[in-house]
Structure 1
């Protein structure tokens, strides 16, 4: 049950691995959160902190990016967009308590206010999502400000809506017409199918950006100036120091794989740790799909299994984008 509205009941939407996804779903994204930045120095401050190019970000567009530590290990992956006279970074709520203080650490020297946003976050998904967005929010851009919030295009079948609590119920009721109501597990499924990376508390400070394919989804600028962790990120590109990548894996499961779970790989007749689960989704027919970071030089026919479920074999699936450098 959503905590901000008694009028709508968001429930887990059972989906079998062979099912088509609903034509329209409204998703409660209560396990996501925003970081907001406002103030005169917001652009220059953020430019020196993150992997994406904030200076050239068109107000009509959003982009992925990461905030790293000095060693180039990611504290978070976010989607950044212009929002309410500043910027908003959409990221997992589980890392907020540790990542936000690090992002604010040097803000005392700049004219910028960095806070956890109070916006209600909703997702609109499905083949009919674009038509509903066009009816509800004026404009043709991929980022559309409206009274009380911002609508942001994620992909061809998904939009994020960030709206102030005072307007949230009215906006949600408008979007919910003809839509199935779902918890954020449905958003997880879309993210996994699109192979969009994320950082949870269980995977914070574990990986460099290229280990989660951030360069392949437009989340790293190799032309901008210095930022925290840049040397490591640059070495991973120009010297080939990164030996891992993120893949989609699927297999039988008795329970949904969780971020941080270990996926073992077959080595002859033996099993060794192969990788780490980033996000998982369990279908209603005991199949599961997950994002997993693995060595990037494995044979295509390598088999995998969850360390906690050794009897169920997993295989990797094709990514929806290329990992080859341009």
Structure 2
């Protein structure tokens, strides 16, 4: 049975963009994230593959992380910005063999792959669409490590990578893993995860797990909205301040060393529907937006959980969705400390 046939046989429902939204029980799937291991087809992400002997040097001159320092057994978050320091995309970067892979929001992949390719020039590297022959599965939950180890033979620590016969296994924070597998082997691996007791869930559940991990993903709704530090990118290892030049590096460095950071990313809850790109307001801003939602996902208890970049000074007055009198945002904890 093909990969798509396997998903359809299990009742996967897709939206107009082709993302798997749920497997018929959306509310129960959200609640399951807390109590059991879940597995999700990560169709919301694309993969750009870079191949060639000068790949590390090329990517190091384009991305915010130190790609040259990335070993085979590790992954790193990164970003790609305009010369003005505004993020065009965020990535999870890892290696397999001699190739480097950039996981990116699927809706941005084609444009960012084309843009990066424009700067290759004489560098001995080439970009290609790895989503054609690779599938990414996400596994999360209290017993995720045991189930991933049962089907792949390993369960690496956060931001560590193990390469097995069945998959490239990437450990993430908050008891989460990604399994990158050849397309023709994805169905068998998926079935083995289900047999081990994992529950299939749709894209909103994984998005909720990203929010709880404090891992921002730039999408079309938030391109060029944030400098890296506003979205806490340096706190998750996505920014190197010692590696040298890349687009936007001067702005990022100035923000770090010369200026006081006025905006930060916070985890919030709101008792209302919300979406990436929605603006948030505070009374002291005199009608101007205080910030913008990076990610939003339905919460098991109702409403939405959010990652929000907003003025730090607005926290005292309170943040509201849509306007200063809109639904109130309530702050939740992140898994890492803010400066």
Q: Distance in 2 between matches of 1:222 and 1:234?
A: 7
Residue number in structure 2 paired with 1:280: 296
Say yes or no: does 1:294 pair with 2:296: no
Residue number in structure 1 paired with 2:239: 220
Map Cα deviations across residues 101-142 of structure 1 (whole Å, 9 max, x no partner). 111112131111112212111101111110112222235643
Cα separation, partners in 2 of 1:159 and 1:16, compared to 1, 3 Å:
closer
Deviation of residue 287 (structure 1)?
2.2
Residue number in structure 2 paired with 1:53: 66
Residue number in structure 2 paired with 1:233: 252
Residue number in structure 2 paired with 1:127: 142
Map Cα deviations across residues 210-241 of structure 1 (whole Å, 9 max, x no partner). 11010111111111121121111100101116
Residue number in structure 1 paired with 2:334: 319
- Structure 1 contact 266–272 (Cα < 8 Å) conserved: no
Q: Distance in 2 between matches of 1:219 and 1:81?
A: 13
More strand by share: 1
Kindly report which structure 2 residues correspond to 1:155-174, keeping only aligned pairs within 5 A, or say none.
155-174=173-192
Unpaired stretches in structure 1, ≥5 consecutive residues: none
Residue number in structure 2 paired with 1:147: 165
Q: Distance in 1 between matches of 2:10 and 2:299?
A: 24
Which residue, 263, 269, 274 being the options, matches 1:250? 269
- Structure 2 contact 38–199 (Cα < 8 Å) conserved: yes
Kindly report which structure 2 residues correspond to 1:254-269, keeping only aligned pairs within 5 A, or say none.
255=273, 257-267=274-284
Q: Which moved more, 1:73-82 or 1:84-93?
A: 84-93
More helix by share: 2
| 1:275 partner SS | strand
Cα separation, partners in 2 of 1:249 and 1:7, compared to 1, 3 Å:
same
Q: Distance in 1 between matches of 2:41 and 2:328?
A: 32
Map Cα deviations across residues 43-88 of structure 1 (whole Å, 9 max, x no partner). 1111111111111112111111111121111111111111243111
Deviation of residue 291 (structure 1)?
0.6
Deviation of residue 29 (structure 1)?
0.8
| 2:142 partner SS | coil
Residue number in structure 2 paired with 1:27: 40
Map Cα deviations across residues 268-322 of structure 1 (whole Å, 9 max, x no partner). 9x7542211111112254321101110123343x322221795522222233212
Unpaired stretches in structure 2, ≥5 consecutive residues: 13-21
Q: Distance in 2 between matches of 1:58 and 1:140?
A: 17
- Structure 2 contact 86–248 (Cα < 8 Å) conserved: yes
Name segments (4+ residues, structure 1) moved above 6 Å: 16-20
| 1:205 partner SS | coil
Count, aligned residues:
319
Cα separation, partners in 2 of 1:16 and 1:315, compared to 1, 3 Å:
farther
Q: Distance in 2 between matches of 1:90 and 1:35?
A: 7
* Aligned Cα root-mean-square deviation (Å): 2.3
Say yes or no: does 1:189 pair with 2:208: yes
Residue number in structure 1 paired with 2:19: none
- Structure 1 contact 247–319 (Cα < 8 Å) conserved: yes
TM-score (norm 1): 0.90
- Structure 2 contact 72–95 (Cα < 8 Å) conserved: yes
- Structure 2 contact 105–219 (Cα < 8 Å) conserved: yes
Cα separation, partners in 2 of 1:57 and 1:25, compared to 1, 3 Å:
same
TM-score (norm 2): 0.87
| 2:186 partner SS | helix
Cα separation, partners in 2 of 1:123 and 1:16, compared to 1, 3 Å:
closer
Cα separation, partners in 2 of 1:47 and 1:252, compared to 1, 3 Å:
same
Residue number in structure 2 paired with 1:201: 220
